[in-house]
Structure 1
Amino acid sequence: MDRRLAKRTETLTPSSTLAITAKAKQMKKEGIDVIGLGAGEPDYNTPDHIIEAAYASMKEGKTKYTPAGGLPELKDAIIRKMSGDHGLTYKPSEVLVGIGAKHVLYTLFQVILDPGDEVIIPIPYWVSYPEQVKLAGGVPVHVDGSVESGFKITAEQLKEAVSDKTKAFILNSPSNPSGMIYTEDELRDILEVCREADIWIISDEIYEKLIYGDAEHVSIATLSDDAKERTIVINGVSKSHSMTGWRIGYACGDGAVIKAMTDLASHSTSNPVTTSQYAAIEAYNGPWDAVETMRKDFGKRLDAVYPLLSDIPGFRVLKPQGAFYLLPDVSEAVRKTGFEDTDAFARALLEEAKVAVIPGSGFGAPGTIRLSYATELSQFKEAVRRIREFVEARWQD
């Protein structure tokens, strides 16, 4: 018997986000005073009215299989949301509900990519984008959005990366890990490149409700009829309603793509979790007060911790416009404290300062670390104090 694993598994890079978070949780279990700034989820509980709706659905016997692509009632709620928020009109056949936005993305890549197809992914990127592309037989093509460019790429960079093998471009705005947002003008320029190249746009908008200051989220699908036709919008309730564990995400877009995704889901997942779907219906149809409360609190935390983090020697920090992450360039701090790279720097922070951060290597940005301010403010301030002491104690001129 050939007991070797499939070759596709050999290309996978373990999630640095989950690895650091798991180690920090283990240290906490051992009684160590660790402050975790690594997890990508709100520290708020799911709003009560959503929990109550989910419980009621179970008591009413709504615990059976649903259509593979999601409950009609949930699709209707998503359609109303997309129309109300963006003026975008979709039919139920153009909506797929899946087991979290992550698995929706996985399913999408499986149905649009053939071996050798290229997908352009801006740096820094969410850790799972390139891995999912590779699992579908595709080839990730990275384009660097540096701290100097605000962690965004230009239309000119995108155009240079396009080849005759390019199938899609991934847009994540607001971004994980940088929190930066593309302006409407920037999106129009990017759209023109995608139109000329005739490629798909995959627009991951999972953080659209978490925006601060004067920033504005614009869905690229709203910019023209062509934009809507070539864009697959990915979203979900995980971040907006603090429902990460409920695992409900969705895709809106081209009917043929959505049908293929639905057909694949029918053979892989059967259906999204029934109870979670009823919870998501309530999330979209019920009151949004808790969402706004959380957003305002995150904005206050950002305003409070941004100057403290910026004041750490060797840290270059751009103030994010959305999501709940800070992505400081710590290249100088790593060099001045004698570490080989940010991975070693992050490991030492956890082991010595008892602060868990995510090294930027997992996001394609090895000179950075990611910190989540979806953390109680006093805890975040204490974490920054520990990081500063750690850096200053090791600093070598």
Structure 2
Amino acid sequence: MKISERLMRAKPSATLAVNAKAQELRAQGKEIVSLAVGEPDCPTPAHVCEAMKKAVDDGFHRYTAVPGLPELRTAVANYYGKFYGAKAEAENTIISNGGKHSLYNLFMALIDPGDEVLIPAPYWVSYPAMVELAEGKPVIVPTTAESGFLAEIKDLEAACTEKTRLLILNTPSNPTGGHYPQAQLDEIANWAKSKGIFIVSDEVYDRLVYKPAEYSTLANFWEKNPEDVAIVGALSKSFAMTGWRVGTTLAHADLVKAMVKIQGQSTSNVNTMAQKAALAAFEGPWDLIDEMCVKFQRRRDLAYDIITSWPGVICPKPDGAFYLFPVLDTFFTEETPDSASMCTKILEEAGVALVPGSAFGDDRCIRFSYAVDDEVLKNSLEKIGKVLMGK
């Protein structure tokens, strides 16, 4: 049996590898805490769960149209009007099986073999692999901790060639929590338009932004330039619905039709009951997000203060999501020369699972999730500090 070359080139998910190692140690009877998890630690809201139960009880079990329930697509369009003042219609939206599926559909619809795609690093783990599966060429654009791990036009300009087709932006960012101010986001969007570069804007964490930072989006740019950008969203982070698998895309109607064609030949519609739950989420209330932001901001400050107390550590203070991405190479040794070996050491000695920065394109760093209980977070970071400093 021969596996396709395209798949052989793809790397397995580093986050899944970390989880497998943690599960192995748990099976051995060791107590393991995960700061590697990329999901909120609060339950899905009761009204969302009730909508799912009602759909089951009402016999809402059959296929829907591939791009989603009409009323759900309308609710997604209205979301961008409600929160960002951007006018969109149902035809500009498609419901997919999570934000990851939305991204995959976009790349398959937009990328031809050999097209170059600019990916600022640190990046979410799946971007390069997805681009390669679409037979495109990932072009990694390094950023610095000093810039808050945010791409600047000079960095993008230096990486741009006549083959550049796409730019992927992610704000707030996984893994850094970095968040582009609206002015910087607009500046990059205008630069990309002038170069004929299409933007895929991953805004899955768009509502998890911490004061005094303000929300930002390319939705208003999209309204004026619908052929130049697509925006990916999801309910996984904002409504603690990671396992429900509901992602959204805001795009030109013609691009949505192309995505429908891809989705129709792969997964068809999203789980019908989950769509009813998603509709309940979009209809509100949205109080949960405000509560989550207060909680996550408190945890961010707690974790940030501990991590930056470690000698030699550089760590931008993030404005969103629920991650910190410190530069920890000052602790690398011959025995632990990189982020992966350091994560293994921390897992084995401190019992805390983390994700190596190499998975995100920066091997100097390690990703910490603070989507856990405050006391668990504090105790875990104190254990990690002792391992790093050899205490």
Q: TM-score range by the shorter chain?
A: over 0.9
Match of 1:287 in 2: 285
Structure 2: state its 5+ residue gaps. Answer: none
* Structure-2 separation of matches of 1:6 and 1:224: 37
Residue 102 of structure 2: which of 82, 101, 104 is its match? 104
State the TM-score, normalized to the length of structure 1.
0.96
Shift of 1:313: 2.7
1:275-314 alignment runs, 5 A limit? 275-314=273-312
Instruction: Please state how far the C-alpha of 1:26 moved relative to its aligned partner.
Output: 3.6
Superposed CA deviations along residues 10-39 of structure 1, whole A, max 9, x for unmatched, are 111111112112322342344311111001
* 8 Å CA contact 2:25, 2:32 repeated in 1: yes
In structure 2, the residue matched to 1:20 is 18
Question: Conserved in 1, the CA contact under 8 Å of 2:222 and 2:229?
Answer: no
Percent identity (aligned): 38
Q: How big is each residue's C-alpha offset from its partner over 1:246-265, in whole Å with a ceiling of 9 and x where there is no partner?
A: 00001111111110000111
- Matched residues in 1 for 2:250 and 2:155: separation? 27
Residue in structure 2 matching 1:85, options 78, 83, 86: 83
Alpha-carbon deviation of 1:285? 0.5
Once the two structures are TM-superposed, the CA of residue 184 in structure 1 deviates from its matched residue by 2.1
Aligned partner of 1:235 in structure 2 is 233
What corresponds to 1:323 in structure 2?
A: 321
Counterpart AA for 2:144 = S
Deviation per CA, 1:323-363: give whole Å up to 9, x if none: 0000000011124x852111111111111111111000000
CA apart distance, 1:314:
3.4
In structure 1, C-alpha distance between the alignment counterparts of 2:369 and 2:86, rounded to whole Å:
31
Offset of residue 213 of structure 1 = 2.0
Q: Please state whether the residue corresponding to 2:265 is helix, strand or coil.
A: helix
2:162 maps to 164
Instruction: Give the match for residue 72 of structure 1.
Output: 70
1:55 aligns with 2:60: no
Asked if the contact 2:146/2:316 (under 8 Å) is kept, the reply is no
2:160 maps to amino acid: V
Aligned to 2:332, the other structure's residue is in SS state helix
Deviation at 1:87, TM superposition (A): 1.3
Q: 1:362 aligns with which of 350, 359, 362?
A: 359
- Greater Cα shift, 17-26 or 224-233: 224-233
Residue 344 (structure 1) aligned with residue 351 (structure 2): no
1: distance between equivalents of 2:317 and 2:195?
A: 33
- Following TM superposition, the consecutive aligned residue runs of length 4 or more in structure 1 with deviations greater than 2 angstroms are 25-31, 223-229
CA shift, 1:220, in A, is 2.1
Shift of 1:104: 0.9
Task: Give the aligned partner of residue 126 of structure 2.
Answer: 128
Residue 305 of structure 2 aligns with an amino acid whose one-letter code is P
Q: CA deviation at 1:319?
A: 1.1
Alignment-mate amino acid for residue 117 of structure 2? V
Among candidates 232, 257, 260, match of residue 258 of structure 2: 260
Question: Are the equivalent residues in 1 in contact too, given 2:76–2:282 (CA < 8 A)?
Answer: yes
| Contact residue 178 and residue 325 of structure 1 kept, 8 A | yes
1:248 is aligned to 2:253: no
Q: Which moved more, 1:356-365 or 1:185-194?
A: 185-194
SS in 2 for 1:293: helix
SS in 1 for 2:383: helix
Task: Determine the C-alpha separation between the residues in 1 that align with 2:149 and 2:301.
Answer: 20
| Partner Cα distance (1:268, 1:228) in 2 | 26
Q: How far does the alpha carbon of each residue in 1:142-193 deviate from its partner, in whole angstroms, 9 at most, with x for none? A: 1011112210111111122221111110010100000011112212321222
Q: CA deviation at 1:383?
A: 0.8
Q: State the distance in 2 between where 1:216 and 1:59 align.
A: 41
Equivalent in the alignment of 2:196: 198
Q: Summarize the Cα distance change of 1:113–1:389 in structure 2 as closer, same or farther, 3 Å threshold.
A: same
What is the identity, as a one-letter code, of the residue corresponding to 1:232? A
**For 1:224 and 1:239, how far apart are their aligned partners in 2?**
23
CA distance in 2: counterparts of 1:166 and 1:45, whole angstroms:
41
Query: How far apart are the structure 1 equivalents of 2:225 and 2:368?
Result: 33
> Any conservation in 2 of the 1:79–1:90 contact (CA below 8 Å)?
yes
Q: How far apart in 2 are the matches of 1:12 and 1:77?
A: 36
Deviates more, 1:286-295 or 1:248-257: 286-295
Alignment partners' CA distance in 2, 1:320 and 1:217: 13
Q: Is the 8 A contact 2:95 2:247 kept in 1?
A: yes
Q: Could you tell me which amino acid in structure 1 is paired with residue 375 of structure 2?
A: S
- AA of the residue aligned to 2:39: E
The 8 Å contact of residues 222 and 228 in structure 1, kept in 2 or not, is answered as no
In 2, Cα distance between the equivalents of 1:222 and 1:382?
43
Q: 1:370 to 1:188 in 2, by over 3 A?
A: same
In the superposition, the TM-score normalised over structure 2's length comes to: 0.97
Write the distance in 2 (CA, Å) between the matches of 1:229 and 1:260. 13
> 1:299 corresponds to which letter in structure 2?
Q
The answer to whether the aligner puts 1:382 opposite 2:379 as a matched pair is yes
Aligned mates of 2:27, 2:54 — CA distance in 1? 34
Per-residue CA shift, 1:85-116, capped at 9, x if unaligned?
A: 11112222211100001011001101111100
Query: Does structure 1 retain, via aligned residues, the 8 Å contact 2:99–2:234?
Result: yes
Q: Give the match's secondary structure for 1:234.
A: strand
Alpha-carbon RMSD? 1.4
CA distance in 1, matches of 2:265, 2:221: 35
> 5+ unaligned residues in a row in structure 1: which ranges?
none
Instruction: Judge which range, 65-74 or 14-23, deviates more.
Output: 14-23
